Amino acid sequence: MSQPPLQINCTSSAPRADEQQGLSQALARGELVAIPTETVYGLAARADSPEAIRRLRELKGYQDQRPFTWHLGTPPLASKNDGLKHSSPYTATVPSLGDPRLEPRPLDAIVRRLTNRYWPGPLTLVVQGVPAAMRAVAEGDWIGLRQPAHPATGLILHSLPFPVVATSANRAGQAPLLTAQAVIAEFGSDLAAVVDGGASCLNEASAVLRVGRGHFDLLREGLVTESDLRSSAGLAMAFVCTGNTCRSPMAEGLARAATRRALGEIDPASFGFEFHSMGVFASPGSPPSVHSVAAMNARGIDISDHHSTPTSPENLIGMDRIYCLTRSHAEALLASLPRAMGSKVELLDPLGKDIPDPIGGSESDYELCARSIDQAIAAHIAEWVGK
Please report the domains of the chain, with CATH numbers, ordered by start residue. 6-230 (3.90.870.10), 235-384 (3.40.50.2300)
Calpha distance 287→292 (Å, rounded): 10
Q: Taking Cα atoms as reference points, which of 359, 356, 339, 336 lies closest to residue 348? A: 356
Q: Rounded to the nearest 10 degrees, how much is the dihedral formed by the CA atoms of 361, 367, 373, 377?
A: 170
Helix (H) or strand (E) run with residue 62 in it: none
SS3 state of residue 206: coil
List the beta bridge partners of residue 177. none
Question: How far apart (Å, rounded) are the C-alpha atoms in residues 21 and 13?
Answer: 16
For 182, the 3-state DSSP assignment is helix
> Is-above-0.85 flag for pTM?
yes
Instruction: Count Cβ atoms below 10 Å from residue 205 Cβ, excluding itself.
Output: 17
**What is the per-residue pLDDT for 99?**
34
Looking at residue 25, what is its pLDDT? 97
List the pLDDT tens digit at each of the 387 positions of the chain: 378 999 999 999 889 999 999 999 999 999 999 999 999 999 999 999 999 999 999 999 998 889 999 999 988 754 444 433 334 443 343 333 333 334 557 899 999 999 999 999 999 999 998 988 899 999 999 999 999 999 999 999 999 999 999 999 999 999 999 999 999 999 999 999 999 999 999 988 899 999 999 999 999 999 999 999 999 999 999 999 999 999 999 999 999 999 999 999 999 999 999 999 999 999 999 999 999 999 999 999 999 999 999 999 999 999 999 999 999 999 999 999 999 999 999 999 999 999 999 999 999 999 999 999 999 999 999 999 998
CA gyration radius, the chain: 26
